Chain A
């Protein structure tokens, strides 16, 4: 652009423009609260800002995921604890039934109570949290068992046996398993699909049948089997204890990462209000001074003193 202004005025305007740009920049940073409002503000930090935001988002999602999983793991752990209590209760009923002084009707009454415990165990196997059957394995979307007294185990499987391969990732990328299937816990079978000695359903059903038969030896034998199954289920609580620890540690780490990422993001892009306030004051003062100095520049020339006749 070609201008008719004098060079000194051009220079003054150029300097004024720099001051006004500084003030605009400061104003933008103060009003947005951010020191980086466009890429040119800090091109060297742009990659770090994007990456930190992504890491923060990932840490937040991981924390949400872990929080949701934590509910499932705690529910599953609690359900297994209930199952152990329930199996111990059944052992108590069996011991009472095996007592020589227990009458036949009393034994049948105890058989009914054990039967009721088996129904409760089925309910435990079908434990659901937020639409997820926690012992359902890889496809935990529908009930797994129903009571069927005619079955050797006293229950019917409603879905094909599943495996539980679901891995949960912590914030550092380490994965761990958080669930077992109901089959692994309460309905263990051999390769021929026959119940093993650890099968809790079969053990409960065996005790029910023994109590109904009134045979003390059969009851005693069923109690032994049941104690074995209860011991097995008890051993599995270690898995859930470990899973709870893993989830809890991962959740803590994810929350720490969230805090770290937020702090780092703040360092990268937040405006320093104090520095900006000082900067704004300095620029404003300089602007006022420049305007004032320019205003005091003499605007007269010798022509003003020429006599006009």
Chain B
């Protein structure tokens, strides 16, 4: 048979259990808006109660349950990775859209337009020095516009590569932070909702930077895999990644920037494993889009193709033309120069020949039959020929195709980023439903625990009174 003292002991344990439950509730309320925090649910477990034998006097024990769902967290992390990639693409493509401007004052198409109009005007009076000067000025402006765009694209390339380095640094910092949390978990295996929130917070930040897979281990330690294959964090070990110039990538393509590779801690190329996150967006811009425009890796780049196509087409016609009006017909001179030894740097080296003057522009064709303005007329129509001189397109058309490609990439990034924001919000909503703190629920619990605590207190008081009564019955 249980004694009054064992009942008192049981009531005391109950008070402690309700106190812990209210502590948990208080912590939930305090962290209701803390990033990464998962709701902790106090569960009350009744103890064995064997009144016949008096061995166990019953009572209640509090056990805190963590509502964290690895599925909900993984869903959020995956959506954050995709959002990180598209938002990064959106950010990185904004300056490219400025280079490939579509306004009527867009430098390259305006300069090309001016150049071919000047050829057209010159064709009506080839000997007119004003018209010759206009051609020289327009050619100069065209070369400068292309040079300027090449410089801007190179600056964007440099800036993007710097962003890749800083993103890799941030990934490694996050990995180091996760490793620190793993160590703390190993030292103190007791579940810690605060530590868990900080870990989740860091994992979500890391998800925005790269596609990671999180594998939970014993005691809550996590293993973080990049692309599901390369371990960034394993228990107490961090395997830092690094971004390096792939020096073999641009071999045989002078002037082209090397592509950027991501290497694991053993120097293995893991670039292909980075498929989302802002790092993937940056790699896509640096290794794919920019090389297609300004050259890089094994690509010559569209702007260089345009510059070389323009220079070669104009020069060929002028060199086949003549400045003479009577035989013998003197051959014409090239208008443009560029560094042919550096195919991926033509846009940057394009210039008007320093040796040519307006009067040396060869407007005529020696024929037969001779024509005083045959070359000038051909030059004037060069941009609108059916089989264009640059990949079968006219110069303006070709530049339009480059601009269009940038536009499609930016438009796609913008659409996807907007859609992804919605998907992230959805995933977070699901996460919130599963493991978020409900203040209403917490208020109800608080009232329940308070009432239970008050009742248990009363029990203690009653037992105390009973014991007092019992004590007075004992004769002194």
Residues of A within 8 A of B (CB): 1-8, 10-11, 14-15, 17-18, 21, 36-44, 46-51, 53-55, 57-58, 60-62, 64-65, 68-69, 131-132, 138-139, 141, 160, 162-163, 165-169, 173, 175, 301-303, 305-306
- The one of B36, B104, B404, B426 in contact with A46, judged by C-beta atoms closer than 8 angstroms, is B404
- The one of A4, A7, A302 in contact with B429, judged by C-beta atoms closer than 8 angstroms, is A7
A303 to chain B, nearest CB (A): 5
Rounded to whole angstroms, the CA-CA distance of A37 and B103 in the bound complex is 7
With a 10 A CB-CB cut-off, give which of A3, A54, A131, A175 has the most chain B CB atoms: A54
- The one of B117, B123, B326, B439 in contact with A57, judged by C-beta atoms closer than 8 angstroms, is B117
Rounded to whole angstroms, the CA-CA distance of A50 and B127 in the bound complex is 31
User: Which 10 pairs show the lowest CB-CB distances between chains A and B?
Assistant: A39-B407, A43-B407, A302-B443, A47-B400, A40-B410, A7-B429, A301-B439, A11-B425, A7-B432, A50-B400
A308 to chain B, nearest CB (A): 12
Main secondary structure of the interface of B (DSSP, over half): helix
Rounded to whole angstroms, the CA-CA distance of A131 and B129 in the bound complex is 12
Rounded to whole angstroms, the CA-CA distance of A167 and B373 in the bound complex is 7
Q: Is the CB of B406 within 8 A of A2?
A: no
Closest A residue to B119 by beta carbon equals: A61
Residues of chain A with a CB closer than 8 A to B61's CB: none
Q: Is the CB of A49 within 8 A of B397?
A: no
Closest B residue to A160 by beta carbon equals: B326
Between A and B, 12 residue pairs with Cβ closer than 8 Å are A40-B411, A43-B410, A46-B404, A49-B400, A50-B399, A58-B116, A65-B124, A68-B124, A132-B125, A138-B372, A139-B127, A165-B371
- The one of B104, B384, B443 in contact with A55, judged by C-beta atoms closer than 8 angstroms, is B384
A134 to chain B, nearest CB (A): 12
B203 to chain A, nearest CB (A): 9
Closest B residue to A48 by beta carbon equals: B400
Q: Is the CB of B384 within 8 A of A58?
A: yes
Which of B43-51, B164-172, B306-314, B414-422 contacts the other chain?
B414-422
With a 10 A CB-CB cut-off, give which of B102, B120, B439 has the most chain A CB atoms: B102
Number of A-B contacts (CB under 8 A): 191
Rounded to whole angstroms, the CA-CA distance of A207 and B97 in the bound complex is 76
Rounded to whole angstroms, the CA-CA distance of A302 and B444 in the bound complex is 8
Closest A residue to B129 by beta carbon equals: A141
Residues of chain A with a CB closer than 8 A to B410's CB: 38-40, 43
Q: A65-B124, A169-B123 are in contact. Are A18 and B418 (CB under 8 A)?
A: yes
Residues of chain A with a CB closer than 8 A to B381's CB: 169, 173
Q: Is the CB of A40 within 8 A of B97?
A: yes
Q: Is the CB of B120 within 8 A of A7?
A: no
Residues of chain B with a CB closer than 8 A to A18's CB: 418
Q: Is the CB of B421 within 8 A of A49?
A: no
Q: Is the CB of B109 within 8 A of A6?
A: no
Per-residue CB contact flags for chain B residues 19-49 toward chain A (1 = under 8 Å, else 0) read: 0000000000100011110000000000000
Closest A residue to B205 by beta carbon equals: A2
Q: Is the CB of A65 within 8 A of B36?
A: no
A75 to chain B, nearest CB (A): 15
Number of interface residues of B (CB under 8 A): 80
Rounded to whole angstroms, the CA-CA distance of A57 and B110 in the bound complex is 10
Q: Is the CB of B102 within 8 A of A46?
A: yes
Q: Is the CB of A65 within 8 A of B406?
A: no
Closest A residue to B418 by beta carbon equals: A18
Q: A7-B429, A61-B121, A306-B443 are in contact. Are A54 and B113 (CB under 8 A)?
A: yes
Closest A residue to B441 by beta carbon equals: A302
Residues of chain B with a CB closer than 8 A to A302's CB: 439-440, 443-444
Residues of chain B with a CB closer than 8 A to A48's CB: 400
Rounded to whole angstroms, the CA-CA distance of A170 and B397 in the bound complex is 22
Rounded to whole angstroms, the CA-CA distance of A301 and B447 in the bound complex is 14
Q: Is the CB of A4 within 8 A of B34?
A: yes
Residues of chain B with a CB closer than 8 A to A169's CB: 120, 123, 377, 380-381
Q: Is the CB of A37 within 8 A of B439?
A: no
- Contacts A50-B106, A61-B121, A301-B439 supplied; 17 other A-B pairs, CB < 8 Å: A10-B425, A18-B418, A38-B97, A39-B100, A41-B407, A46-B403, A50-B109, A50-B396, A50-B400, A51-B394, A53-B113, A54-B113, A57-B116, A58-B120, A69-B124, A131-B128, A303-B443
Q: Is the CB of A50 within 8 A of B403?
A: yes
Rounded to whole angstroms, the CA-CA distance of A67 and B372 in the bound complex is 20
Residues of chain B with a CB closer than 8 A to A175's CB: 377
Residues of chain A with a CB closer than 8 A to B116's CB: 54, 57-58
Q: Is the CB of B439 within 8 A of A38?
A: no
Q: Is the CB of A65 within 8 A of B109?
A: no
Q: Is the CB of B432 within 8 A of A40?
A: no
Closest A residue to B118 by beta carbon equals: A61
Residues of chain B with a CB closer than 8 A to A8's CB: 429, 432
